[in-house]
Structure 1
Amino acid sequence: MKKLVLALAAAAALCGAGAASAQTAYGQIGTTGLTLGYAHHFSNFNLRGDINFLDYSRNFDAGSVKYDGKLKFSSVGLFADYFVASQFRLTGGLFLGRDKINARGVAKPGSDVLPGEWVEGEIRSKDVRPYLGIGWGFGPQAGKGLSFAADLGASYGAYSTDYKVSPGMQAYWGNDRVQKERRELDDEVSKYKWYPVIRIGATYRF
């Protein structure tokens, strides 16, 4: 997270070096989690930087297995907006930081394997992911005060996986079964390289 904050600070410093004085703070919610950001405005484009974060957990039962799922987003977004109309824009940029999904299933009493044995899988994004999209809001000519902003686009990058089992599960399944499950997870995740980015929120122009 320290690197992410430094990257955002560098972007803010770069924006501050520009000649234009209009600035906007914003907050959004969407598929990248909760977002807090800053935009610096020029004649027909913006430079923006934001922090995205989400830490969500959910536990649930399915048959004889108890599942613990975790979703954690932690990234910085650096963007350039080009306005083709007063508020409509084209946006390109980067997401820096790693998002991940983790799930662990633990056998409960009465299952086919020893209670307490577990299987765990994790999916992780790349640390750098380019972004392309369109959006509404942050227009350089907009007046001061509260307004609305929305983004629609996608980030690109392959995802990595990790698959682990407890020693007891390894002995129960055997190495061939474990390797098969690992390959199936990796093969399924490898199909997806584009992540949809949909965000809406409020802005405040100073």
Structure 2
Amino acid sequence: MRRCIALVLFGLCLAGSVTAAEDVNRFSAGVTGGTLGLGAEVGYAFSPRVRIRGLAAGLDASHDIEPDGQSDLRYDADVELRNAAALVDFHPFTGNFRLTAGVIASDNSGDGSATCRQTLCNFGDGTDVLFQGDRVDVDVEFADDVHPYLGLGWSSTPESTGRWRLSIDLGVTYLGDPDVDASLSGPSSGIFLAEQEVENEERNIEDDLEDFEFYPVVMIGAAYRF
């Protein structure tokens, strides 16, 4: 991770050594939205081909989740996205196509709860181990708070003369391994078999979340240059 941050800082220093464009509209500020959340973005054009950007985005969402396996439970889940990114854009050609690299600092998390609403509920990898009224609470976090980003996109070049700049980002960031913590309360709480199935349920949810270990980034933005 330190190497990734060092490479980004080196890119910024290299960009700063290039003669800046004669365009007075080097600064930009605008809005952005996508899989990192909704937020704001600022930028500065170092040269005709290089721009740096900083963005902050977040989103709160609710979703019903049914984990894989033999569980009858359905979770009412709340997801919080909190992301801040430092990015370097490089236009290798004269057109709008660009390559982007940087780092993303995240504080993304989720929590959910599920209650057995029938006489007996399948749970974890077992069968009929929870009673009516048993409740499972789950907290989810990802291991890495700062992670690398690589992508491509399209936007006006730093040397273009228009005041408004539209942009599209397509890329991927590595979130790390998910960490799931589940707890049981209700009539089955303290029963050894039920507590063992709590651990199985944690693994089931972690397996589901492994698909997001490499998280796709799709963002669309609009910025005003000044």
Q: Taking structure 2 as the reference length, what is the TM-score of the superposition?
A: 0.71
C-alpha offsets along residues 132-166 of structure 1, whole Å, 9 cap, x if unaligned? 00011152012242231100010013132222122
Q: Answer whether contact 2:147 2:174 (CA < 8 A) is retained.
A: yes
Task: Give the structure with higher Rg (CA).
Answer: 2
Q: 1:58 to 1:195 in 2, by over 3 A?
A: closer
Aligned partner of 1:174 in structure 2 is 194
Deviates more, 1:91-100 or 1:120-129: 120-129
Q: Answer whether contact 2:140 2:181 (CA < 8 A) is retained.
A: yes
C-alpha offsets along residues 28-63 of structure 1, whole Å, 9 cap, x if unaligned? 2111111311010022101110101111224699xx
1:130 aligns with 2:130: no
**C-alpha distance in structure 1 between counterparts of 2:202 and 2:63, whole Å:** 23
Q: 1:177 to 1:184 in 2, by over 3 A?
A: same
Aligned partner of 1:7 in structure 2 is none
Aligned partner of 1:6 in structure 2 is none
**C-alpha distance in structure 2 between counterparts of 1:192 and 1:58, whole Å:** 16
Counterparts of 1:30-179 in structure 2, within 5 Å, are 30-43=34-47, 44-58=49-63, 67-84=75-92, 85-108=94-117, 112=121, 113-115=131-133, 117-124=135-142, 126-168=144-186, 169-171=188-190, 173-179=193-199
Q: Taking structure 1 as the reference length, what is the TM-score of the superposition?
A: 0.78
Helix, strand or coil for the counterpart of 1:174? helix
**C-alpha distance in structure 2 between counterparts of 1:60 and 1:189, whole Å:** 11
1:29 aligns with 2:54: no
Q: Answer whether contact 1:143 1:205 (CA < 8 A) is retained.
A: no
**C-alpha distance in structure 2 between counterparts of 1:198 and 1:102, whole Å:** 24
Q: Answer whether contact 1:138 1:203 (CA < 8 A) is retained.
A: no
More strand by share: 1
Q: 1:42 to 1:129 in 2, by over 3 A?
A: same
**C-alpha distance in structure 2 between counterparts of 1:66 and 1:154, whole Å:** 29
**Which sections of structure 1, spanning at least 5 residues, go unmatched?**
1-10
Identity %: 27
Helix, strand or coil for the counterpart of 1:180? helix
C-alpha offsets along residues 172-206 of structure 1, whole Å, 9 cap, x if unaligned? 55232222222333344346531110111212111
Alpha-carbon distance, 1:103 to partner: 2.2
**C-alpha distance in structure 1 between counterparts of 2:90 and 2:114, whole Å:** 46
Q: Answer whether contact 2:75 2:113 (CA < 8 A) is retained.
A: yes
Helix, strand or coil for the counterpart of 1:166? strand
Q: Answer whether contact 1:98 1:125 (CA < 8 A) is retained.
A: no
Alpha-carbon distance, 1:122 to partner: 1.8
Deviates more, 1:173-182 or 1:71-80: 173-182
* Aligned-pair Cα RMSD in Å: 3.1
